[in-house]
Structure 1
Amino acid sequence: MSAAELTEYQRLVRTLSDRIVEAQIPIRVLDAVKWTDSLRQGFFAAKGKALPAVDRAYYENRPLGFDAAAKKQEFQAIERDITRYMGQFSPVGQIMRRMCKEYRMVVRMLEARGTADFGLISQDLYGSATDAFHAGDPTLADLGLMLSRYLDNIDRRSDLKDEPKTLNSNQAVELLQSRLDQVFGVGGNVIQVFESDGIVADAAAGADYIKIRRDALFNQRDIRALEVHEGLVHVGTTLNGQNQPICTFLAKGPPSSTITQEGLAILMEVIAFASYPTRLRRLTNRTRAIHMAEEGADFIEVYRFFRSQDYNEEEAYTQTSRVFRGSTPQGLPFTKDLSYLKGFIMVYNYIQLAVRKGRLEQIPLLFCGKTTLEDMRTLRQLVEEGMVIPPKYLPSQFADLNALSAWMCFSNFLNHLSLDRVEADYANIL
C-alpha cells in the first residue's frame, strides 16, 4: 500500500506512528546497562570475594548517547499530538499514547542507573518476582521454585543428559541460516546469520539478522531452539511489524511487548518441541536469582547460587551480571529476565481463552508485530478496518489453527483436574 493510497486518517496515523519509531531509535536499553569486561576480570582477580566496582559514577562515565530530558519531552510532544489530532478515545491512539508513556519510563529508568530508582522503575516496566498472575494465584517466584523441583526430579535420570556441544560458531551459522532460509527465503535475503565478537549471549537477534558468538559451541538442539525463538518469533515479528503500511509502531517493542514477545518465544519452543530441561532450568534460575536480589541478596550471594546450580565460574558471573546490570551489586535487580516465564503464562492463558471462546482469528495476530496482550482486541478491530495487515511470516504451529485449537481444548479440560488427586490415584502404577 503506497502513501498515495492511504486516506487522510491513515496518513495521520502513519505520521504519528513514524514519529514514535524515529524517537525511540537511540534508546538502547541493554547497551546502556551492560557491564564492561574489566569488571569481570576484577571480580575473578579478587577470587570472587569482592563486589564488582559498580556505582552511580560508573554509569555516569558511560553516557546514554542522547539527551534524556529532550527525549522525554519529545515523547511528551508526540503524546500530546496524538490526543490533539486523534482525540482521547481513538483505539489506535490509545496504543500509541501508552507506548510514549512507556518510552518515557524507560528513559527515566536509564537516567536512574546505579540508584535505587532504577530497580523500582524496572519493576514497574517488567514486573517483580513477587507478582501474582491473578488474585490468590502463585507468584513468579513460586513458579520458579515449582519448576525447579520438577527439573530436580528429571536431573536424577542419566538418560536425559544434554547432547555434547560439538558445533562451532561457523557450523552453527551455516545450519541456522539453512533452516531460516526455508521459512524466510533463500540465501539470507530476508534474515542473515553471522558470527560476532561483540555479544555476551550465545546468540542475539536484530531486526533482520541473528548474531552468533564466535567462541560459543552448540549442539543440534541449540540450533533448533535458536531457529524457533530468535528466528521465527523475534525476527519474524519484527519483519511483520516492518511490513505494516500504517501502524509502523508495531515494528518496535516497548517493555510491555517484551513480556508478550518473550512469552510467545518460549511457548513456541515448547509446542515446536525445541525446548529441553537445561534451557528451562536457565529460565527458572534467572527468576529465582531476581527474587533473591529483590529480597536483599547481593552480587556475591547470587553468584554463589548460580555456582550451586553447577554453573562454571564464567557462566555464573555472566548470569549474575544479568541480574544486577543497570543497578549496583547490592541494589535492586534489573527484572527484564522475568519476561520469559511471566510472558509464557500470560500468552498461554490468552490462547486457551481464545480457543474456549471461539475467537481463533485473534491468535495469529500475536505475530503481526511487537504486540502486547492488552492490545489484541484493538488489533483485531484494526485488521478489520484495514489499518493493520495480518502477519506475512507465521510459524506453522500458529498457521494451523486446527491442530492448535485441538491441543488447547484438551489443555482446557486437563486444567480442571486435580493433579494431587491424580497422583494419589496413580500411586500404584507409577
Structure 2
Amino acid sequence: MSSRRKNDDYLQIIRSLSDRLVEAQTPIRVLDAVKWDDSIRDGFFAGGFRKLPAVDRAYYESRPLSFDSVAKKQEFQVIERDITRQLGQFNPVGQIMRRMCREYRMVIRMLEARGTADFGLISEELYGAASDAFHAGDPTLADLGLMLSDYLNNIADRGDLKDEPKNLAASDAVSMLQDRLNRVFGEEESVIRVFESDGIVADAAAGADYIKIRRDAMFNARDVRALEVHEGLVHVGTTLNGLNQPICTFLAKGPPSSTVTQEGLAILMEVIAFASYPTRLRKLTNRTRAIHMAEQGAHFLEIFDFFRDQGYSAEDSYGNTSRVFRGSTPEGMPFTKDLSYLKGFILIYNYIQLAVRKGKLEQIPLLFCGKTTLEDMRILRQLVDQGVVVPPKYLPEQFRDLNALSAWMCFSNFLNHLSLDRIEADYANIL
C-alpha cells in the first residue's frame, strides 16, 4: 500500500472517530439541564425574598435529562476504547479525543448528581474552584475578585465612567449586532444569525452559527460592542473555525476544559479591543466573589443580599444568584462555571505573554482553531504542521496582525519584574 493511501486511511480513521464523538455529545446541554424554571423565581418573589427557592433533589428528578445517561456514558466509553484500538495509546489526536470522552462522562455524572453534594464537587473538578491558586503561593481567584473589586471601588464615583442609559430594546440590539457581524464575517455568506429569544438566562448566548438576545433585556451601544467581540468574534468565530475542520471535527464542540479557554479568550478580546468597561468587569468579579461565598457555606439568601448590596435590582440579584446555585440546591455547593471568565483570562494572558517571550508567535492564532484547550496547544501546532488541523479561517484583526499584541506583551514581560509596592511609594508625591 502506498504511503499516500496509508495517510488517507489514517485521516479517515480520525475523521470517523471525531464524527462519532461529535454525534455522541449532541444531546448533552448542560445549561438547559441545570437552569431553574420561571416558577421558582415567581415563588421566591412571592415570598418577599425571604424564603429559599423551592429547589431540591426532587425538583431535578421532575425534570429528567433528555438522554439515557447510563447508555450515554457507555457510548463514550466505547468511543474511548475504539480511539485507543485504532490510533494507539500515544497518538496526539487520540490523546485529545480520549480526554474529551472522559470529560463528557464526568459532565454526565455531574448532571446525574443534580441537587446533591456530588454536583458541586464534580463542578469544581470540571471548572475549578474560587479557592484554586494559579501557581503555588500565588493569589487565588477569590483574591483576584477582591483585588479587582477594590480597584473598581476606587473609580466607582467618577461621573465620566458612568454607563450610558440602556435605551436599546432587544430588537434594536439584534439589528445593530447583525449589521456589525455581517461586516466582520461577510454578509454574502450569511454565516451568523442574530435573533431574540425568551429561553435564556443571560442577556445573550451564542450557538454554532447564531447569537440569541434575551427578549426582555435592555442594552446600550457599549453592550452591543461587547457582544460583537465576546459572542461574535470569539464564541461564534471559533465554532465556525471548528466546523471548517475537514478531519478534526471535534474542534467545533467544546467540553468544559475548553470553556475556560473560550471565556478567557473572550474577556481578553474585550480588553484589547477596548470593548470592556468597569460595570462589565464588576459583574465578573461579583460572580467570582459570590461563588467563593457559596464555597464557604453561604446560602441563596445571603448571596442574594450580597448582590442587592452591590446595587443590583431584585430581578438582577435573583438572576445572578440563581446562576451560582443552578444544578445545586439553595444551600448547596455552587455551580462554578462562571469562574471561567477571570480564570481563563489570566491563563490565556499568561500563555500569550510566554509565547511572545519564547518567540513562538505562530502558537497564538491557534487559540481560534476551534473549541481549543490550553493543554492541547503544542499538539495542535503539530497537527497544523501535519495538515490534520487547518489554521483558523476567522480571526479578529488583533490576532491576524500580531505586531501590536507582541509589542504590548514585550512591555508587559518587563513590567512584571517591577515592584508595584515600590512604584506606589515612589509615586506618592506626584499622584
TM-score bucket of the superposed structures, by smaller chain? over 0.9
Match of residue 83 from structure 1: 84
Matches within 5 A, 1:301-312: 301-312=302-313
Partner of 1:68: 69
1:94 is matched with 95
Identity %: 80
Per the alignment, residue 301 of structure 2 pairs with 300
Q: Structure 2: any 5+ residue segments left out of the alignment? A: none
Structure 1 residue 325 displacement after superposition: 0.2
Q: Mapping of 1:138-157 within 5 angstroms?
A: 138-157=139-158
Counterpart residue number, 2:118:
117
Partner of 2:354: 353
Is the Cα contact below 8 Å between 1:68 and 1:107 reproduced in 2?
yes
Alpha-carbon distance, 1:269 to partner: 0.2
> Structure 2 matches for 1:19-418, cutoff 5 A?
19-186=20-187, 189-418=190-419
Is residue 129–residue 140 contact of structure 1 (8 Å, CA) maintained in 2? yes
Deviation at 1:156, TM superposition (A): 2.4
SS of alignment partner, residue 48 of structure 1: coil
Which amino acid letter does the alignment assign opposite residue 11 of structure 2?
Answer: Q
- What do residues 127-157 of structure 1 show as CA deviations (whole Å, max 9, x unaligned)? 0000000011000000000000000001021
Alignment-mate amino acid for residue 75 of structure 2:
E
Q: Match of 1:8?
A: 9
Structure 1 runs of 4+ off > 4 angstroms?
Answer: none
Q: Deviations over 1:294-340 (max 9, x none)?
A: 00000000000000000000000000000000000000000000000
Q: Which residue of 2 aligns with 1:428?
A: 429
Q: Is the 8 A contact 1:205 1:211 kept in 2?
A: yes
Residue range with higher mean Cα deviation, 403-412 or 376-385: 403-412
1:196 deviates by: 1.4
8 Å Cα contact 1:351-1:363 kept in structure 2: yes
* Amino acid corresponding to residue 195 of structure 2 in structure 1: F
Q: AA paired with 2:363?
A: Q
> For each residue in 1:354-374, what CA deviation from the matched residue of structure 2 results, as whole angstroms up to 9, or x when unmatched?
000000000000000000000
SS, match of residue 15 in structure 1: helix
Q: 1:6: Cα distance to partner?
A: 7.2
Structure-2 separation of matches of 1:400 and 1:154: 33
**Separation in 2, partners of 1:368, 1:262:** 15
Q: Matches of 2:12 and 2:229 in 1, distance apart?
A: 35
SS at match of 2:330: coil
Structure 1 unpaired stretches of 5+ = none
Q: Contact 1:177–1:188 at 8 Å: present in 2 too? A: no
In structure 2, distance between residues paired with 1:303 and 1:361? 45
Aligned-pair distance for 1:200?
1.9
- The number of aligned residues is 427
Letter in 2 for 1:119: G
The CA deviation string for residues 178-201 of structure 1, in whole angstroms up to 9 with x for no partner, is 110111111671001111122221
8 Å contact kept, 1:151–1:277: yes
Counterpart of 1:262 in structure 2: which amino acid? E
The residue type equivalent to 1:123 in the other structure is E
Equivalents in 2 of 1:35, 1:198: separation in Å?
11
- Matched to 2:253, the amino acid is K
Report the Cα distance in structure 2 between the residues aligned to 1:187 and 1:340, rounded to whole angstroms. 33
Letter of the structure 2 residue corresponding to residue 384 of structure 1: D
1:83-134 deviations in Å (ceiling 9; x for gaps): 1111110011000000000000000000000000000000000000000000
- SS of 1:155 mapped into structure 2: coil
Contact 1:204/1:212, CA 8 A, preserved across alignment? yes
State the one-letter code of the partner of 1:376: M
User: Residues 181 and 6 of structure 1: is their aligned pair in 2 closer, same or farther, counting only changes over 3 Å?
Assistant: farther
Distance 1:317 1:109 in 2: 23
Partner of 2:54: helix, strand, or coil?
coil
Distance 2:170 2:284 in 1: 23
Q: Distance in 1 between matches of 2:225 and 2:6?
A: 41
- Match of 2:266, SS state, is helix
Secondary structure, aligned partner of 2:160: coil
Q: SS of the residue aligned with 1:420?
A: helix
Partner Cα distance (1:270, 1:422) in 2: 24
What residue identity is the alignment partner of 1:90?
A: N
Q: Which amino acid aligns with 1:404?
A: L
CA distance in 2, matches of 1:279, 1:219: 12
Deviation at 1:167, TM superposition (A): 1.1
- Give secondary structure in 2 for the equivalent of 1:71: helix
CA separation in 2, counterparts of 1:48 and 1:402? 52
Amino acid paired to 2:230? H
- Shift in alpha-carbon separation, 1:177–1:187, aligned structure 2, 3 A: farther
Partner Cα distance (2:402, 2:317) in 1: 41
Aligned equivalents of 2:347, 2:255: Cα separation in 1:
17
Cα deviation, 1:248-274, whole Å, max 9, x if unaligned, reads 000000000000000000000000000
- Which deviates the most, 417-426 or 231-240? 417-426
d(CA) in 1 for partners of 2:42 and 2:340?
29
Letter of the 2:406 partner, please give it: S
TM-score by length of 1: 0.98
1:174 Cα shift? 1.0
